[in-house]
């Protein structure tokens, strides 16, 4: 199976990124995690992106906050799918990173999830790999069913308590 590359602009993004890591682990999808900053270590971010396809990656998650350009900078150097996670920061609550990540000009797409949307970033990467992996697609179907069952259990609880 192809690996998922997980990049973050700073170790301070790790608490958010860990939710993507946990989600990929639960689906038994191989991954590699790095702290590469688009502005503090641009060479490393660039090299990772340039070599990602040859190194066995199928998609890349890029998480960054503030004037977040990591996802765009990575996407500039690969045609693998890049999923951007805008990370929440103190000053603007993540709106800064959301707009920086989502508003890519035509030609270099970044599939942007919600602010701190690490679980969905991992699931979207899983769905990308599942296009050609029936066993992974079955796991995603099972997860949807389990999530639905959880909601129905909650409904039964509130029905019992209030109705
Ligand atoms: C971004 O700036 C990082 O992705 C992080 O979200 C934010 C703050 O970085 P630190 O100052 O915590 O290293 O590049």
Domain count, the chain: 2
Where b means 16+ CB within 10 Å and e means fewer, 1-21 reads ebbbbbbbbbeebeebbebbb
Q: Any residues with Cβ below 6 Å from ligand 1, and which?
A: 9-10, 12-13, 37, 64-66, 87, 89
Determine the angle formed by the axes of helices 118-130 and 14-26, rounding to 10 degrees.
40
CA of 36 to the centre of ligand 1 (A): 11
Sheet with 3-8, side-by-side order of all strands: 31-35, 3-8, 57-65, 82-87, 111-112
Q: Are residues 112 and 155 in the same domain?
A: no
Residue with the nearest Cα to atom 7 of ligand 1? Answer: 65
The reported pLDDT for the residue numbered 19 is 98
For residues 82 and 118, what is the distance between their CA atoms, to the nearest angstrom?
Answer: 13
CA of 101 to the centre of ligand 1 (A): 14
Q: Which residues constitute the domain of residue 141?
A: 134-163
CB 11 within 8 A of CB 66: no
Half-sphere exposure of 73 (CA within 13 A, CB side): 23
Q: Are residues 94 and 140 in the same domain?
A: no
Q: Are residues 112 and 138 in the same domain?
A: no
Q: Are residues 104 and 155 in the same domain?
A: no
Q: Which atom of ligand 1 is nearest to the CA of 63?
A: 4
Per-residue pLDDT of the chain (163 residues; tens, 9 = 90+): 999 999 999 999 999 999 999 999 999 999 999 999 999 999 999 999 999 999 999 999 999 999 999 999 999 999 999 999 999 999 999 999 999 999 999 999 999 999 999 999 999 999 999 999 999 999 999 999 999 999 999 999 999 999 9
The reported pLDDT for the residue numbered 123 is 98
Q: Which CATH number do you get for residue 108?
A: 3.40.50.1970
Q: Are residues 138 and 125 in the same domain?
A: no
Bin 110: left if φ > 0, else alpha if -120 < ψ < 50, else beta: beta
């Amino acid at each position: 199976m192809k690996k998922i590359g997980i990049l973050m602009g700073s170790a301070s993004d790790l608490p958010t990124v860990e939710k993507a890591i946990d989600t990929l682990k639960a689906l038994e999808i191989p991954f590699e995690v790095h702290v590469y900053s688009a502005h503090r270590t641009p060479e490393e971010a660039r090299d990772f992106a340039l070599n990602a396809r040859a190194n066995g990656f199928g998609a890349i998650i890029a998480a960054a906050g503030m004037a977040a350009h990591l996802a765009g900078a990575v996407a500039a150097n690969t045609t693998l799918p890049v999923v951007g996670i805008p990370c929440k920061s103190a000053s603007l609550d993540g709106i800064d990173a959301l707009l920086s990540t989502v508003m890519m000009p035509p030609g270099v797409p970044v599939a942007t999830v919600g602010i701190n949307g690490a679980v969905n970033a991992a699931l979207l990467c899983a769905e990308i790999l599942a296009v050609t992996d029936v066993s992974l697609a079955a796991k995603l179907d099972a997860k949807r069913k389990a999530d639905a069952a959880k909601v129905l259990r909650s409904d039964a609880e509130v029905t019992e308590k209030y109705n």
